[in-house]
Structure 1
Amino acid sequence: MASVKKDNRLTSSQSSVCVGFAGIFSKTITSPLEVVKIKSQVGTFHTKRGLCQSFMLIYQHEGLRGFWKGNLVSCLRLFPYTAVHLTTYKKIVDLHMDELGFISQWRAIFAGGLAGVAAALVTYPLEVAETRLIVQNCREPTYIGVVHTLSKIYRTEGLFALYRGFSLTVLGAFPFSVGCYAVYMNLDKLWQEPPFRFTPLQNFINGCLAAGVAQTLSYPFETVKRKMQAQSARLPHFGGADVHFSGMMDCFIQVIRNKGILSLWNGLTANTIKIVPYFGLLFICFETCKQVCLYRNGYIVSPLSYKLTPGVDQSLGPNELEEVKRYLKNRNFGSGGSSFGNRW
């Protein structure tokens, strides 16, 4: 998957703010496509006539607010998910890294899959809440807000309901990792040059390709997972799912038997369209936020420019740079020491 490269000129808190802001902004802008995708996966009546008609029906029945249902819980889920994913990924990579600090691409992608499963385990109840909030009609809500959704599911359906369908996350991680691996193993053939020479635009295209292939391969597992998250005997129309089932295998069988095997990819169009603006906004927002932080740290002359501040050692970390500045400020340089001072 596409990722942003770590910049040691940012503090850890600044990096977290940049990633969080970029994630929240990109998720919020692409929320209407996410709503249509999840409704298509569950099989609500809004999505029976194609992508464009789905937007019209949602707008007619729920208004503009209907396109941002569940966005708050999705954004809240971003922070613990990212923290657990990065921590787990780093620990797994450290275990498989050789004495020279290298790790094979396959092992790195596999580590990413395991880290994703670990992060999903921690944040899965929030994903269930997101699905329930999106599937319901916001003008006749069963759930009101994140806390109310989680507490009501727990009180009426038990703890197991908050993890219903989690096994599909584990199963879907394998085709997802295979899809990423298949793309990244052939990128040098696509661009006809080694990966270390890829430009930011090439890396962006690579991320979109990997996301498209990986999500397409794992999509049937996500479709069944969303149906399981949405279905409940305590909700009107069993939560709006287009088939009623007793478990994971029964859901697969009923969907294929009643709707055809291609229905496992319902909502794939909206999901595919979402990939490019999502990653594009993610990168743009991250870079914009990073520019502001680099300017505040003193590395560049303006937050609107990539021009480096003259005389500033770009290899120094923010704290090291501040220490150097304080040291030079406190020293009383004479004319003999001006040549050293001019470098800063």
Structure 2
Amino acid sequence: MASVKKDDRLTRSQSFMCVGFAGFFSKTATSPLEVVKIKSQVGTFHCKSGFWQSFLLIYQNEGLRGFWKGNLASCLRLFPYTAVHLTTYRKIVHLHMDEVGFISQWRAILAGGLAGVAAALTTYPLEVAETRLIVQNCRQPTYIGVAHTLSKIYRSEGLLALYRGFSLTFLGAFPFSIGCYAVYMNLDKLWQEPPFRFTPLQNFINGCLTAAVAQTLSYPFETVKRKMQAQSARLPHLGGVDVHFSGMIDCFIQVVKNKGVLSLWNGLTANTIKIIPYFGLLFTCFEMCKQVCLYRNGYIVSPLSYRLAPGVDQSLGPYELEEAKRYLKNRNFGSGESSFGNRW
């Protein structure tokens, strides 16, 4: 069994802000690896000579700016994606919790998968925009900025183009959830101790390992999805996609037929290498932001220290703690007035 844990000392808006800030920073820092991964998945010429050569070719053809193409669209997805994901996840989890607040790991992971699909549906047009911005040459752009990309795709290709390949997000959620479940079911065997004794380092390693296994299993679906997002008659060389196809199933067939089965995992090296810095920065930035919020709420003595504020009940929520402080302040103020009046 696994419990759904959250820090009740943060308000909902603070939790949302911490997740958003951490995601924004970690995505921006690892954007070069994301660009190489997506170009490899689509099959552009930059990535035909291997992983390291891809960086050189992108730099030669587009400069440093080329490594951060589409990053704004990716970051803009974070806030609505996080809001929808958290809201949907909480609703699904609460439906399956028992009377003491526990939920099985399998159901929690399945809830995460369904919440991810719901969040992806909401933000999918931004993902399409990200792919289009990455596959184009930023020195000879077809699209200029996120808003222009969305507007131009809608006007020239129609609304459905903004959701091209979305069914693969849903299909990929199943192997992703299976991968998560397989790792979580064997964590106690890996560390030879129960999950509640895991240290922060062990939890970090668990997160990286889970992401690596789950993303590897669902990777072929993402590869085909990226090809479908990138393919467009309005882009030079049809978006740089290395195969021509007429739909999702045909894309799978053409990739396997012309490039081989393993090409469905093109860009996996960049994706795997990205996991450790991405999660490391994500957790670090989240903790830093959380510390600032806890300090502002009055639970700790400094945003740079984990030392708890003396005399503060850590079980109280932020609004309850504020009410308690206001009550004590008013009571002390009243006592002071009474004492002052007695003197006179």
TM-score scaled by structure 2? 0.94
CA distance in 2 between partners of 1:42 and 1:22 (Å)? 28
| 2:341 alignment counterpart | none
Percent identical pairs in the alignment equals 87
Partner of 2:319: 319
Match of 2:134 in 1: 134
On the 8 A contact 2:19/2:82 being kept in 1, the answer is no
CA distance in 1, matches of 2:281, 2:250: 39
Secondary structure, aligned partner of 2:92: helix
Q: Distance in 1 between matches of 2:99 and 2:295?
A: 37
Letter in 1 for 2:253: I
Equivalence for 1:90: 90
* Counterpart code for 1:183: V
1:5 Cα shift?
5.4
Q: Deviations over 1:158-205 (max 9, x none)?
A: 111111111111111100000000000000111111111111111111
| 1:15 counterpart residue number | 15
Determine the structure 2 residue equivalent to 1:185: 185
* Cα separation, 2, equivalents of 1:173 and 1:269: 21
Q: Give a deviation string over 1:234-261, Cα, whole Å, max 9, x none.
A: 2110011001111111111111111111
Matched, 1:289 2:289: yes
Matched, 1:55 2:52: no
List gaps (5 residues or longer) in structure 2.
Answer: 337-344
- Tell me the alpha carbon deviations over residues 208-246 of structure 1, each in whole angstroms, 9 at most, x when there is no partner: 111000000000000000000000122110011001111
User: How far apart are the structure 2 equivalents of 1:260 and 1:222?
Assistant: 16
For the residues of structure 2 that align with 1:5 and 1:135, how far apart are their CA atoms?
A: 40
2:212 alignment partner, SS class: helix
Give the letter aligned to residue 107 of structure 2: R
2:234 partner amino acid? R
Q: Secondary structure of 1:66's partner?
A: helix
1:253-292 paired onto structure 2 within 5 Å: 253-292=253-292
> Aligned partner of 2:303: which letter?
P
Q: Specify the alignment match of 1:170 in structure 2.
A: 170
Q: Is structure 2 residue 155 aligned with structure 1 residue 155?
A: yes
1:3-53 CA-partner distances (Å, limit 9, x unpaired): x95211112221111111101000000000000000000000000111110
Which residue in 2 is equivalent to 1:204? 204
- For 1:52 and 1:33, locate their aligned partners in 2 and report how far apart those are by CA, in whole Å: 11
The alpha-carbon distance between structure 1 residues 334 and 123, as it changes in their structure 2 partners (threshold 3 A), is: closer
Q: Distance in 2 between matches of 1:63 and 1:137?
A: 10
Counterparts of 1:248 and 1:115, CA distance in 2: 23
C-alpha RMSD over aligned residues? 1.4
Given that 2:232 and 2:239 are in contact with CA atoms closer than 8 Å, whether structure 1 keeps it comes out as yes
- Structure 1: 5+ residue runs without aligned partners? 336-344
**How many Å apart are 1:334 and its aligned residue?**
6.8
Counterpart of 1:331 in 2: which secondary structure? helix
Corresponding position: 1:81 with 2:99? no
- Residue type of the alignment partner of 2:304: L
Q: How many residue pairs are counted as aligned between the two chains?
A: 332
TM-superposed CA distance for 1:65, in Å, is 0.5
1:111 equivalent to 2:121? Answer no
- Matching residue's letter, 1:258: N
CA contact (8 A) 2:16 2:83 kept: no
Provide the C-alpha distance between the structure 2 equivalents of 1:260 and 1:284, rounded to a whole number of angstroms: 39
Amino acid at match of 1:219: Y
CA distance in structure 1 between the partners assigned to 2:123 and 2:257 by the alignment = 32
Q: Distance in 2 between matches of 1:74 and 1:6?
A: 26
Q: Where do 4+ consecutive residues of structure 1 move more than 6 Å?
A: none
Deviation per residue, 1:280-334 (Å, 9 max, x gap): 0000001111111111111111111111111111111122222222222222487
Q: CA deviation at 1:85?
A: 1.1
Task: After TM superposition, give the deviation of residue 98 of structure 1 in Å.
Answer: 2.8
